[in-house]
Structure 1
Amino acid sequence: MTTAFYPGSFDPLTNGHLDVLIQALNVAERVVVGIGINPGKTPMFSFDERADLIRQSLAEVLPKRRDALDVVAFEGLVINAARAHAAKLLIRGLRDGTDLDYEMQMAGMNAQMAPDIQTVFLPSGVASRPITATLVRQIAAMGGDVRAFVPAAVLDALTKKLNR
Structure 2
Amino acid sequence: MKKAIYPGTFDPITFGHIDLIKKSLNIFDQVIVAVSDGNTKNYLFDANEREQLIKNALFRDLKFSKKKIIVTSFKTLTTDFCKKMRSNVIIRGLRATSDFEYEFQLAGMNKKLNSLVETVFLMSDPENQIISSKFVKEIIELNGDIKKFTTKSVIKSLKYKFNE
Q: Does 1:132 align with 2:153?
A: no
Unpaired segments ≥5 residues, structure 2: none
TM-score, normalised with respect to structure 1: 0.91
Hey, what's the Cα distance between the residues in 2 that align with 1:101 and 1:42? 23
Q: Does 1:61 align with 2:51?
A: no
Residue identity over aligned pairs, in percent, reads 33
Please name the residue that 2:152 is paired with.
152
Hey, what's the Cα distance between the residues in 2 that align with 1:39 and 1:11? 13
Hey, what's the Cα distance between the residues in 2 that align with 1:66 and 1:26? 15
Unpaired segments ≥5 residues, structure 1: none
Please name the residue that 1:143 is paired with.
143
Query: Alignment RMSD, CA only?
Result: 1.6
TM-score, normalised with respect to structure 2: 0.91
CA contact (8 A) 1:8 1:36 kept: yes
Hey, what's the Cα distance between the residues in 2 that align with 1:3 and 1:159? 34
1:1-164 mapped onto 2 (5 Å cutoff): 1-59=1-59, 60-63=61-64, 65-164=65-164
Kindly provide the amino acid, as one letter, of the partner of residue 118 in structure 2: Q
SS at structure 1 position matched to 2:66 = helix
Report Cα offsets for 1:137-157 as digits up to 9, x if no partner. Answer: 111112111111112221121
CA contact (8 A) 1:55 1:66 kept: no
- CA drift of 1:40 comes to 4.6
- CA drift of 1:163 comes to 2.5
Hey, what's the Cα distance between the residues in 1 that align with 2:47 and 2:37? 8
